[in-house]
Chain A
Amino acid sequence: SAVISQKPSRDICQRGTSLTIQCQVDSQVTMMFWYRQQPGQSLTLIATANQGSEATYESGFVIDKFPISRPNLTFSTLTVSNMSPEDSSIYLCSASVETQYFGPGTRLLVL
C-alpha cells in the first residue's frame, strides 16, 4: 500500500492568482496522477506524471493552466494557474502501487 499526503488541505484564493498543490508518497512510485473533482461530480483525470518525463495531459487540460512537476519518485506538484471560480474543485493526487491510492485531496475555492 501507499500513504499519500497533500498540502494544502484547503485554500481560498482570489481569481487571477495561482496555487501550487504538493503531493508526497511514502514510497517510491513510478506513476502518479492528478485528478479533479468538481462539486457534486465524479473524478476526472487531469494528467499523468511520471518521473523523468513530461506530464501527459488529458483532453481539455493544458500545461499552461495546470503545470506539473515530478522531481523524484516520491513527490509531485500541481499548479492551478490564473484561477477563476470555475476552478473551484477538489484536487486529488494518486499513486499507482499495484492498486491506486489517493491523497486526502485539496479543496480549492476561488472567489
Chain B
Amino acid sequence: AQKVTQAQTEISVVEKEDVTLDCVYETRDTTYYLFWYKQPPSGELVFLIRRNSFDEQNEISGRYSWNFQKSTSSFNFTITASQVVDSAVYFCALSEAAYGSSNTGKLIFGQGTTLQVKP
C-alpha cells in the first residue's frame, strides 16, 4: 500500500533561517509521482512541485529546493532564508501514474507539517 509520512508535525523558525521539511514515502509502483503543496491560512492548496520517479535530479526554484532520493524513499523540501509569508501547512503527496497517460492518479497525502516563521 502507498503511504506518505511527514514526521514533523510543527516547525517554528525565525525569519531568514533555512528550514527543511521531511517526507518519506512507501510504494510498490515503479512509476509514481511525488508532490509538495502549500496550504496557507486562507485554505487553498497551492501546487509547488511534481517529480516523477525516474527523475532524481534535485530542483531549485528561487528560495525553494527539493531533494529526491529513491534509495531512502525521501523527497525533502528546503526553504532558504525563510520569510513570514512562508508560514503555512505543507503537504507531501504521492500518486500512481494514471494508466496510459502522463496524468496522475489519486493522491495519498502525508499528515502535513505546519511551518511558522516568526519575524
Contact = CB atoms under 8 A, between A and B. Distances in A.
Nearest to A101: B47
Nearest to B107: A100
B50 interface: yes
Chain A at the B interface: SS class: strand
Interface stretch (A15-23, A41-49, A61-69, A70-78): A41-49
Contact of B103 (A35, A41, A97): A97
Interface residues of A, number: 24
Contacts of B32: none
Interface stretch (B15-23, B70-78, B109-117): B109-117
B105 A96 contact: yes
Interface in B58-117: 91, 95, 98, 101-112
B98 A43 contact: no
Nearest to B111: A42
Looking at chain B's contact residues, is the secondary structure mostly helix, strand, loop, or mixed?
Answer: strand
A43 B44 CA distance: 12
A95 B91 CA distance: 17
B43 A100 contact: no
A30 B103 contact: yes
Given A31-B98, A42-B111, A99-B35, A104 B43 contact: yes
Contacts of B108: 45
Nearest to A104: B44
Contact of A42 (B43, B91, B102, B104): B91
B91 A43 contact: yes
Given A42-B91, A104-B44, A105-B43, A98 B104 contact: yes
Interface of B: 33, 35, 37, 43-45, 47, 50, 91, 95, 98, 101-112
12 contacts: A35-B107, A42-B112, A43-B107, A43-B109, A44-B109, A48-B105, A58-B106, A92-B45, A96-B98, A99-B35, A100-B35, A102-B37
Interface of A: 30-31, 33, 35, 41-45, 48, 58, 90, 92, 94, 96-102, 104-105, 107
